[in-house]
Structure 1
Amino acid sequence: MITNPPVTVLGLGLMGQALAGTFLRAGHPTTVWNRTASKAEHLVAQGATLAGSPAEAVAASPLVVVCVSDYAAVHELLDPLVLDGKVVVNLTSGTTQTARETAAWAAQRGVTYLDGAIMAIPQAIGTADAVVLYSGPRSAFDSYEPVLKSLAAATTYLGDDHGLSSLYDVALLGLMWSVLNGFLQGAALVGAAGVDASVFEPFARNLIGTVGDWLPPYAKQIDDGTYPAYDSTIDTHLGAMDHLIDESESLGVNPDLPRLIKAVADRAVAAGHGGHGYAAMIEQFRKSPGE
């Protein structure tokens, strides 16, 4: 088990700076590189070593952490380098396809590759609020888990498939945007009556917590493929969706979001799920466009 190796961080945007700073505070000798060297100044002041080139940076450490704008930038950075024998942890956001393609590229070059997804803002790195997901060879994750745990208490290994971290990332982002968009729609509605968003917020937060408690039984229904209507049917939900659309239109609030929600529910009813519980909507999300 490797517990205190030197680490190289390539890319010093806000997230890359947070990663490097956290490694330093955890006691890891940290080498950094960035196209704009001035971004490393405060890290150097904390004890980091600024490499003069990417090649010099990767030569300094067995573990190379990459966090740049996209996978094209990852390859522009890494393709010219000799990385044989290195463990590369890529924390750049992307897709399952780009993650798997990069894993194949790494295998051809003798590189041990872990793909990762950061579910946190830069300020949360190194705290209990940070979540970082990893996928790739289990042996590599196990070897460097103590190092990676310095970035996030919730450091989770998902499996050998390099695409899993990106897949979880986009799936959770979709959930985040759905929650935030629902809150914004609600704030716009009550705002039409002169109610401040800060007044509405505790009610929204309470409901979000309640809905969160519904997820375990919903997940079981989805896994079992059965959707009993314990509380309400999709047909009943449709009536409430109509109320939301009508209220939005009457108050001059954009009704696009509730219309989209109702359109999916309408398709579920047309497919014979009107008498089922809301979890039956999963069958619509599983369909390709046009099906």
Structure 2
Amino acid sequence: MQNERTTEDVALGLRRRVFEHTIRNNGGYLSQACSAAEQLAWLYNEELKLGDPTLPMIPKPFEGVPAPSNPGYHTGAGYNGPAAPEYDRLFIAPAHYALVAYATLIEVGRMAPEGLEMFNKDGSSVEMIGAEHSPGMEVHNGTLGIGLSTGAGLAYGRKLRGEPGRTWVFMSDGEVQEGQTWEAVAAAQFHGIDNLCAIMDVNDQQCDGAMDSVMAVGDIRRKFIEFGATCVEIDGHDIQAMRDAAKEPHDGKPLIILARTSPYQTMPILEERFPRLHYVRFKSPDERARFNTSIAADLGVDPVEYAH
């Protein structure tokens, strides 16, 4: 399917949706929208080769876990189109970015806006922490650090079958604190899995605060290279830099793009919450109103109406 909007417009649109959702629901993943908007917009609007969605625009309710006795079970991958050999596949490794991913699907016309109204509701497949049945999700990546391994396994199978489609993984920098990430890179290099690409949102934040206050990870670009990847470091808000990085030659190796970002991008008032930026829930009616007014002005929209 073709989307005629610019990637910049998609990034702005998804930030506006996450902002509106957060104000209306008195909480949301604002900093992830700040840091990752350009990356997810670029993937869906430009880089990924995907077919038309195969699932309803308004997401179906949760239909249970996969089992021979449950023929109605589905994964959310259908929002990315069919799993045909010629198409790319995408894994969202940090499942808490689900709100931002859903907003992206809406902005590129793969899910109806009504889908976001189902977010985190009982019986809904639009999970707060994305699961395998959630829109755009194919597997459950809620355990930090397993996403790149999952992508590497699928990419290896596709390579052995001679499929031309690539496997992309969207990652967060907290995953480099997990050993499984490094094992995945080493295995991908050893097996020559060069149809595996990843872009990592390096915003220096995680659920417990700033990365360096939890466990410093050092020079992750050098580590990725030493473990066997081709690794490019860019400004994660620079869409042209992403386009250029995706063209980096990486024969026989996985490609890792480190996208350095700000968790306050377009919403500078969020810096008030540093270092607790993982999930923003407002502490008082006054704070909610101030954030509403400030962010609306920064994003060029009217303040959100909500029930006080």
Q: What TM-score do the two structures reach when normalised by structure 1?
A: 0.33
Larger helix fraction of residues: 1
Q: What TM-score do the two structures reach when normalised by structure 2?
A: 0.32
